[in-house]
Amino acid sequence: MASFIVLLTAVLPLMAKCFLFNGPNWNNLRVTWGMNPFNYNNYATMPRTEQDAILKGFVMKSNCNATRNFVGKRYWKDEDPSVMLLYDVNGYIAGIQIGIAKGLKTGSGDNYPFQQQINAPFVDDGDLYIITAYFTDPATVCTIGRTESDFRTHGTGNVLHIQNGTLPTDVITAPTHEKDLTSTEWTEGKCFPSMELW
C-alpha cells in the first residue's frame, strides 16, 4: 500500500488529496505534476473524449475487449506508454493507465516493479507493466458506456477505482471525500505546495 501511494503521488499526483471533487462536475483531467505550473508540459490537459483524443494526435493502441486484463479503448500518443487513456464504447473518458517498459531498474540495480508488485497493481501487458485507474464503473465501459448526459453530469468520472489485480473487477476504490479517509489505510502523502493548486 505504501509504495502504491508513493507511485500515485509521484506519477498521478492529481489523484489522492490533490484530486478531490469540487461539486458534482469533475471538469478536467490533467497529468504530469511539475514544480512550475507555467511550464507547458506540466499539468497537461488530457482529452476526455475519443474524438478530442484523435484531434490531439492520440491513436488507438487496443480496442475494447482486446484483453481481459483491463477495459476500455486504449489510446496513446507518440507511442509513449507513460500516459495511456481509456475511453468507453461511446468515446467518453473511462480511465487512465501508466505503462512501465519491462527491464527498468532502480538506482540500486533491482528490477522495477518489484516482484511482489507484479500483477497487483502492475499488470503484465506485452512489453509493459501497466497500472490502471478507472473513473467510472469498469463493468459498463465496454458494454453500455456512458451517455452524453452522464458525461455532462459527472464530467471525467464519478468514482476512482485503482485496479489491483489482473482483472478489471479487482479494484481498490478510493474514497472521494477526504473525510472518508479516516479508518482507511490511505495516509497523507508529502505533497509539494503546488500539487494542491488545482
Ligand X SMILES: *[C@@H]1O[C@H](CO)[C@@H](O)[C@H](O)[C@H]1NC(C)=O
Cβ proximity to ligand X: between 90 and 158 the closer is 90
73 contact partners, CB below 8 Å, separation of at least 6: 50, 60, 62, 63, 64, 86, 87, 88, 89, 91
Residues 152, 168: Cα–Cα separation, whole Å: 25
Cβ proximity to ligand X: between 18 and 141 the closer is 141
Are the C-beta atoms of 139 and 152 separated by less than 8 Å?
A: no
Vertex 67: Cα angle to 61 and 73 (nearest 5): 40
CB of 29 to ligand X, least distance (A): 22
Cβ proximity to ligand X: between 43 and 92 the closer is 92
CB of 142 to ligand X, least distance (A): 4
Cβ proximity to ligand X: between 64 and 191 the closer is 64
Cβ proximity to ligand X: between 65 and 153 the closer is 65
CB of 121 to ligand X, least distance (A): 6
- Indicate the residue whose CB is closest to ligand X: 120
Question: What is the DSSP-derived secondary structure letter of residue 174?
Answer: P
Residues 75, 97: Cα–Cα separation, whole Å: 10
Residues 149, 158: Cα–Cα separation, whole Å: 13
Q: Where do contacts with ligand X occur on this chain (CB under 6 A)?
A: 1, 64-65, 89, 120, 142-143, 164, 172
CB of 86 to ligand X, least distance (A): 13
Cβ proximity to ligand X: between 15 and 43 the closer is 15
Phi-psi region at 150: left, alpha or beta (left = phi > 0; alpha = psi -120 to 50): alpha
CB of 9 to ligand X, least distance (A): 15
CB of 80 to ligand X, least distance (A): 25
How many other C-beta atoms can be found within 10 angstroms of the C-beta atom of residue 123? 24
